Amino acid sequence: MALKKIDYARPVYIIDGCRTPFLKARGKPGPFKHTDLAINASRALLQKMPFEADAFDEVIFGAAMPGSDEANISRIVALRLGCGDKVPAYTVHRNCASGMQSLDNAALSIADGRSDLILAGGIEAMSRAPLLLHDNMVNWLANWWGARSLSAKIKVLWQLRPAYFAPVIALLNGLKDPVVGLSMGQTAEKIAYRFGITREMMDRYAVQSHQRLLLAQKNHELPEIVPIFDQKGNLYDLDEGVRADSSIEKLGKLKPAFDKPFGTVTPGNSSQITDGAASLVLASAEAVEKHNLPVLARLVTTHWAGLAPDEMGLGPAHAIAPLLRSRRLKAESIDYWEINEAFAAQVLAVVEALKDKKYCIEHLGIRSAIGEIPMDRLNIHGGGISLGHPVGASGARIVLHLAKILQAKSAKRGIASLCIGGGQGGAMLIEREGV
């Protein structure tokens, strides 16, 4: 398989970004709607910019399940943000990578010369995923509204069954692959089995994720988070998923959530259902010069890959391998890695796959192993397991945080990658060299 070198035709710069804290879903609609989250992140970001909101050429957000009253949510965000009537906006969807897709779309548009300054990012308020009516109930309602006479109404009423009232949980629907009939957790079980990832390895990884996030919070290493306030004035300024008391013993007590009762993937070693949004400003060299913008990093290239839906968790390996090869880079050329923690099993399997020569040759179409991703360079401030994975937002979050890490560590190069429900992987290379 020939490897394509697909850099952006014109340089694309990440100027800066902000995100909301990620808020735990607590079984009922959270305090912020999808748009509220995006507005909070974006307006704080705009205050850091020397230009006004109407200077954007486009607004592009990713969202996997926006509210029913927020179709094309990006346009709503743009208008509420004060971009004015004339800034066009559209919304992208690539499941868990929607937030990264928005950055790629923005980068392509800048590279193409169509745009110079774009607001892009990702949004998800998973707590606000709707409850739906069962098809039987919808059919019954249609009959009920159609029944004109009293006798017809009584007849229809007689057909109503208690089971019709059971709601359909859209969130669970969204997390199940309709092609292979497996839930996302089951695909994680599958690759854990394939690569011999044990329950203990997963739990150990999960505990580490919490500890890393805790330390990062203590050391103020998450400068991209902006404080937000709800209707009652309550302040949210930290990722809520973090557990200071997380331990292997405690996690060991949790029951498997997907392959019951003998599985290994539990809520404790999976990403958390959360609400959040991340927002970034991307610019061309011309815009950087015109507005005298500080540059955070350069967005070098993005690779997308497809694989079997029932092994979707390995998606990052399939995207990272060709990306590195196309630029003749090795694993050790990358200073820091962000691989979204959908499941501990899945992150660990990706690491295993990339150093497994056999897997690389048979499945990634390359002649040797990619190499080892050192754990002290991977997700160094925690990830989806500790801070949560608001589906559409995570892709933008990991790119933004990776850029902030490179800046703080004066490092050169980083890769952000995530697995995508439906059997895909995405990886984005950013650099600070010469920036």
Partner 1 sequence: MANSLLTKNTSHWRSDIDQQGILWLILDQKDASTNVLSAEVLQQLDSILDKIHRELPLAVVFKSAKSSGFIAGADINEFLQVTNQQEALILIRRGQGVFNKIEALSCPTIALIDGFCMGGGTELVLACDYRIASDNPSTRIGLPEVKLGIHPGFGGVVRLTRLVNPFQALEMMLSGRALSARDAKKIGLVDYVQPERQLTRAVTHIALTTPPKRKLPWTGTLLSLPLIRSLVTFIMKKQVAKKASIEHYPAPYALLDVWNKYYGSPSMMEQEAKSVASLVQGETVRNLIRVFFLQSRLKGLADKHTFQPRHVHVIGAGIMGGDIAAWCALKGFRVTLQEREAKYLSNAFARAHQLFARKLKTQHERNQAIDRLIPDCDGNGVAHADVIIEAIFENIEAKHAIYKDIEPRMRKDAVLATNTSSIPLETLAAALQQPERLVGLHFFNPVAMMPLVEIVKKDDTPASVVNQASAFSLHIGKLPLPVKSSPGFLVNRILVPYLIEAVTLHEEGIAIEAIDKAAIDFGMPMGPVELADAVGLDICLSVATNLSSFSGFQVPEILKKMVAAKTLGKKTGSGFYQYKKGHPIKDHDANMGLQQEIQNRLIYRLLNESAACLREGIVDDLDLLDAGVIFGTGFAPFRGGPLNYGKDSGVNSIQQNMKIYQQRFGDRFEPDEGWTSV
Active site residues: 96, 389, 419
Kindly state the tokens that stand for 341. 């923690």
Helix axes 98-111, 391-408, angle to 10 degrees: 60
Q: Which of 331, 303, 274 is nearest to 424 (CA)?
A: 303
Distance CA(344)–CA(199), nearest Å, equals 9
Nearer to partner 1, 36 or 124 (CB): 36
Phi, psi of 300 (to 5 degrees): -85, -55
Distance CA(209)–CA(379), nearest Å, equals 8
Kindly state the tokens that stand for 310. 């029932």
Contacts with partner 1 by CB under 8 A lie at 39, 43-44, 47-48, 50, 52, 80-82, 226-229, 231-235, 237
Q: How far is CA 75 from CA 58, 282, 394, in A?
A: 10, 17, 20
Q: Which of 126, 107, 100 is nearest to 395 (CA)?
A: 100
Q: Which of 290, 401, 400 is nearest to 49 (CA)?
A: 290
CB of 67 to partner 1, least distance (A): 13
Nearer to partner 1, 71 or 138 (CB): 71
414 beta partners: 336, 430
CB of 46 to partner 1, least distance (A): 9
Nearer to partner 1, 228 or 396 (CB): 228
Total Cβ atoms within 10 A of residue 344: 32
Nearer to partner 1, 43 or 194 (CB): 43
Q: Which of 344, 191, 189, 187 is nearest to 270 (CA)?
A: 344
Strand stretches in 25-96, DSSP E: 58-63, 89-92
Distance CA(88)–CA(329), nearest Å, equals 37
Nearer to partner 1, 232 or 260 (CB): 232
Q: How far is CA 390 from CA 9, 29, 307, in A?
A: 31, 14, 23
Nearer to partner 1, 44 or 323 (CB): 44
CB of 81 to partner 1, least distance (A): 8
| Strand 235-236, strand 228-229: pairing | antiparallel
Distance CA(187)–CA(351), nearest Å, equals 17
Nearer to partner 1, 59 or 81 (CB): 81
CB of 291 to partner 1, least distance (A): 12
